[in-house]
Amino acid sequence: MTRRWARHWLRSCREFPARALAVLDRREEDPGRTIHEFRRLMKAWRALLKLAPAELAEEGKAVRGAVGGLRRGFGIARDTAVVAKVLSALCPDHASEDDAQDAAAVLLAEQGDAVRDELRRLSAEMARWSVSNETGDFLVRAFRRSYRLARRQARRDPRRMDAEHLHEWRSMIVDLSYQLSFFAPADPARLGRLAKAAERLRSRLGNAIDLGMVRAHLAERPALDGVDALAQEIPRKIAKQRRKAAKLAKRLLARRPRRAGADLREAMEHRPPRRTSFG
C-alpha cells in the first residue's frame, strides 16, 4: 500500500502546473482572488515537494525554488490587498479595495505569460522524475521532519516570538497543513482533524502578521485621521491572535515526532491515497 502512496505523491506534484494554469486562465472578475488561489497552490506544491525522497532531493529543491519565485512574484499584490482589506474593516476612509484589485489586474497582465511559460517548464522537468523503486517510507520521514521543526519552533512561545521567527514558524505550519491534507485520506478522522487544526493555526498566525503589516503601513502615514486610535487597537488584536495561536499549537503538536511518524506509517499501510483539492 505504501508504494501506492509514493506514486500518488509524484502524481500529485505533477498535477500542480495544470491546476495553476487553470486558475490563471479562468475568467475571474476578481483578480485578487485569482492571485490568492494561485499563491495557495504554490504553497501546497512547495509543501509536497518538501516530501521528496533523497534520490530527488536536488531536483526537488530546484523546483521548489522556482515555485517560491512564482509565489513571491505576486506577493506585492497580495500585500496590497491585505492592507486594503484590513483597513477597510478598521477604518474605511484609509484604503480602497478597488485600488488593490486594479493593482492585481495589472500584475496578472504583466506577468501572466512568463508565469505560464515557467509552469510548463516545471511540468516538463517533473515528467522525468521517477519513484519506481520507492516505498512510502520517504514520505513518513519527511513528514516527521516537518512536524519536528514546527514543534521545536513552537517552544519559543508564539505569544512572544519576534516578527522574523513568527514568519518562519508560520511557513512551517503552512507546510504541515498541506502535508496533513495530503495524508488525511489515510486516517480521515484523526489526520483530517489535525489538518483543520493546522489550517486554523496558520490563519491565526497570518492574521497576526497581516495586522503587523498594517501597523507598519500606518506608521509611515502618521498624519492620517484616526491613526492614533488604530495604533492602540492593532497591538491588542495582534496579541489576541497570538494567544489563540499558542493554544492551537499545543493541541496540534502534542505528540512526539516519532509517535506522529509511526501513526502516519500505520495509517498509510491500511488506507489507499486519494486526490486532494488544496483549494
Q: The cell 516527521 sits on which residue?
A: 144
pLDDT at 68: 95
* Long-range contacts of residues 183-187, Cβ cutoff 8 Å, at least 24 apart: 183/139, 183/143, 183/264, 183/267, 183/268, 184/276, 185/271, 185/272, 185/273, 185/274, 185/276, 186/5, 186/264, 186/267, 186/268, 186/270, 186/271, 186/273, 187/263, 187/267, 187/271
* Pair 252, 201: CB distance under 8 Å: yes
Cα–Cα dist 177/104, whole Å:
26
Residue 226 is predicted with a pLDDT of: 59
Contact 185, 273 (CB under 8 A): yes
The predicted pLDDT at position 61 comes to: 97
Q: Are 8 and 276 in contact (CB under 8 A)?
A: no
Type of residue at 51:
L
- Residues in contact with 251: Cβ distance below 8 Å, sequence separation at least 6, in sequence order: 197
Instruction: Dihedral sign for Cα 123, 125, 128, 129, please.
Output: negative
What pLDDT does 279 receive? 63
Per-residue pLDDT 10s for the chain (279 aa) are: 889 999 999 999 999 999 999 999 987 678 888 888 999 999 999 999 999 999 999 999 999 999 999 998 887 777 777 777 776 666 666 555 556 677 677 778 888 899 999 999 999 999 999 999 999 999 999 999 999 999 999 998 889 999 899 999 999 999 999 999 999 999 999 999 999 999 999 999 999 998 888 888 777 766 555 567 777 888 999 999 999 999 999 999 999 999 999 999 999 999 999 988 876
pLDDT, residue 143, reads: 98
| Residues 51, 253, 195, 30, Cα dihedral to 10° | -90
State how far the Cα of 104 lies from the Cα of 39, in Å rounded to an integer. 13
Q: What is the CA radius of gyration of the chain?
A: 20
CB atoms within 10 A of CB 30: 12
Query: In degrees, to the nearest 5, what angle opens at C-alpha 262 toward C-alphas 256 and 264?
Result: 105
